[in-house]
Amino acid sequence: MKRTAYSALALLILLSLPAAAQTKAAGPTVVLETSMGIIKVRLSPDQAPITCKNFLDYVRSGFYNGTIVHRVDFVAGLGGYTEALTGKPTGPAIKNESKNGLKNLRGTLAMARYNDPDSATSQFFINLRDNPHLDPSGGGYGYAVFARVVEGMDVVDAIAKVKTGNKGPFYNMPLQTIVVKSARLE
């Protein structure tokens, strides 16, 4: 009986809290307009403040406009190359925030990087499936998740089905050019 009374009291207290106190505030939404459709992503600045600021700085500067999806396999990689396959000059690398509790699950966005854990700049990827091997393990670093697709997963799935091949130094590159026409804060 006491357990039921305590549960009811806890539920009553929870229901009386404002909605904002029950859940973390929603982060900003970025709209990626691609040549295959719109993808909206919601950032997680509470868990990945450095990464979200970095991503938003690139969005606000127009950096991602005209970049391409350059890789499709278990992730869709984008955010660094033009249609001519040249890399765009980036800002400085950022600190790796992969130990923020967010997992590389289907539909999440994470920062691409080199072997150095703190080498991410502009490139990111969308996980096309759950990728636990990209999460930190054994004290090491993984790939920092900072956002998730909230609308347009059908567009992401369409991108995942595009035929790929190797082109120069790129592997699993879409043979159909997929352009990020614009990236903007909603």
**Domain map (residue ranges) of the chain:** 24-185
Tell me what pLDDT residue 89 has: 97
CB 92 within 8 A of CB 107: no
Mean pLDDT (the chain) is 90
Domain 24-185 indexed as CATH 3.40.228.10: no
Greatest pairwise CA separation for the chain in angstroms: 70
Tell me what pLDDT residue 25 has: 58
Tell me what pLDDT residue 4 has: 46
Tell me what pLDDT residue 23 has: 33
Listed as ranges, residues in the chain with pLDDT below 70 are: 1-25
Tell me what pLDDT residue 50 has: 98
The per-residue b/e assignment along 29-64, b for 16 or more CB within 10 angstroms, e otherwise, is ebbbbbebeebbbbbbbebbebbbebbbebbeeebb
Tell me what pLDDT residue 7 has: 43
3-class DSSP state of 105: coil
Tell me what pLDDT residue 139 has: 87
pLDDT tens-digit readout, 69-109: 999 999 999 999 999 999 999 999 999 999 999 999 999 99
CB 68 within 8 A of CB 74: no
Tell me what pLDDT residue 125 has: 98
Tell me what pLDDT residue 9 has: 42
The pTM score is 0.86
